[in-house]
Amino acid sequence: MTRKRPNILFLMADQMAVPSLPFYGHPVVKTPHLSRLAAEGVVFDSAYCNSPLCAPSRFTLMAGQLPSRIGAFDNAAELAADTPTYAHYLRDAGYLTALSGKMHFCGPDQLHGFEQRLTTDIYPADFGWHVDWEDFEERPSYYHNMSSVTQAGPCVRSNQLDFDDEVTFRAQRFLYDYARNNQARSDRERPFCLTVSLTHPHDPYTIPQEYWDRYDHDDIDMPRVPYSRELMDPHSRRLRHVYQCDEDTVSDAQICNARHAYYGAISYVDDQLGKVLKALEETGLDENTIIVFSGDHGDMLGERGLWYKMSWFEGSARVPMIVHAPDRFAAGRVSQSVSTMDLLPTFAELANDGEAPEYAVPIDGRSLIPHLTGEGGHDEVIGEYCGEGAIAPLLMIRRGRYKFVHSAPDPDQLFDLEADPRELTNLAEAPEYQDLRKQFRDEVTRRWDTQALHDAVIASQRRRKLVARANMKGQVTPWDHQPWFDASTQYMRNTIDLDDLEARARFPTASADRG
């Protein structure tokens, strides 16, 4: 008998730092639900984003293509409506595709292949957050600053709590509705791909007292590599300028508070995802659902004196990644370097009985199925960053034990991550590494026309700056997604017999012979 095509539940957390998770070795942070998935699933120990900023990372993940192919330069970039995403490929293959939560789409298309979008987004859909490399010193008001750190601590409510509580509720409701509406499903009816994307533990670093109290403040670890002038490469100095961090801006107490709140936010994420997993199990849908957990980028959390993301250092660029399908893939860990760009071909193959579909455009990502089945797989990540703090494309190649970072105005960076996991020693000028450096430099020349890419970024910034300014004058027509629910079909209405309504809404179906 042919196995039914699997449902796919894709769980995302925003700005989730790999070093802060217990299944990557953190001794304090508590994530029982995610840790269970890790213990029973396949954990990727060296997974990366392809651009360490929210929108470019997510667009690359959605499209399976590098940012330069799709114009995903910064947090106000538009993902073109004719860019195929994993939601398009799965929907075309017969899947019901739904999104609950953040994806940071900019522009008038707010669906990008999702048949159902259950919430609005937490971030604006217009071009207002564009970057301006031609006026770097003029700091826009939307940029990160250090208030997230200096004001860190407990709260009763926050903007992000309001959002993530709704994301979780809508995801649970989707699963319950899917189960109730499909109790008599045949094998030929539609499987689902549900993406649940929380905004925590993204800054600001604040979380309710309940989650703050899960951690003893004395147990909060401080950065392993504190700020020092000697570690400040040009891009790091520009980042600290962008978020207004001088040498005396934050105290050790504030750093500790921010990390404490961040750990509490991770536990909040775990609890929210636990509710979604409970709904999956209560409905019996877990028996044929592949669960994938990942993130869009990390958070430096004060390491090297840096915060948030926007760099290629490990704390910023690495992401957690788990694939949980114990009846399909044996539990284990993958050491090779992969990226979130690889998720599109992976999802497409999982939905297509392990075969690659005919892609409409060239795909830069590579399927993770060989890794999942223990049959090898690639060991390479290519990255591009063109957002805040940069003044030219910041390009990254991770292959084997080495990471190479190149930006035309700055000195190269070359790290041996096996010997130097904290990236303390830049080998780019070491005599014994000049052959390796040349190999990477030659590869950069082959892969990228850096001047053409730089010009494309500037041209995109100019266009979006004008459009953003013009669209805010006179009558404003927002692009933000407006979720709509038909109240006339909810709860008790006179369009359906009461007994029929109650029977349809109850799960599982009531049995007439119960005691």
Handedness of CA 388, 155, 105, 362 (dihedral sign): positive
Question: Cβ atoms within 10 A of the Cβ of 157, count?
Answer: 10
Contact indicator for 75, 123 with CB cutoff of 8 Å: yes
CA of 414: how far to CAs of 398, 402, 406, in Å?
10, 7, 9
Catalytic, out of 54, 106, 245, 256? 54
Which residue in 304, 424, 333, 326 sits closest to 46, CA to CA? 333
Assess whether 54 carries a catalytic annotation. yes
Helices (H), 208-251: 209-212, 234-242
Strands 192-201 and 7-14: parallel
Torsion angle (degrees, nearest 10) of CA 348, 351, 356, 361:
-30
CA–CA separation, 449 and 242 (whole Å): 27
Strand partners, 98: 116, 194
Tell me the C-alpha distance between 181 and 507, whole Å. 10
Give me the catalytic one of 33, 104, 112, 406. 104
| 454-458 long-range contacts, CB within 8 A, separation 24+ | 454/392, 454/393, 454/408, 456/68, 456/71, 457/73, 457/133, 457/386, 457/393, 458/133, 458/134
- The token duo for 462 is 């100019």
Rounded CA-CA distance 463/466 in Å is 5
Using CA atoms, how far apart are residues 208 and 218, in angstroms rounded to an integer?
19
Alpha-carbon distance of 303 to 315, in angstroms, equals 8
Q: Can you tell me which residue has the tokens 């190479």?
A: 404
3-state secondary structure of 511: coil
Instruction: Please list, residue by residue across 476-503, b when 16 or more beta carbons sit within 10 angstroms of its beta carbon and e when fewer do.
Output: eeebebeeeeeeeeeeeeeeeeeeebee
Strand partners, 295: 13
Helix pair angle (343-350, 54-63), 10° resolution:
40
Active site amino acids: 54, 104
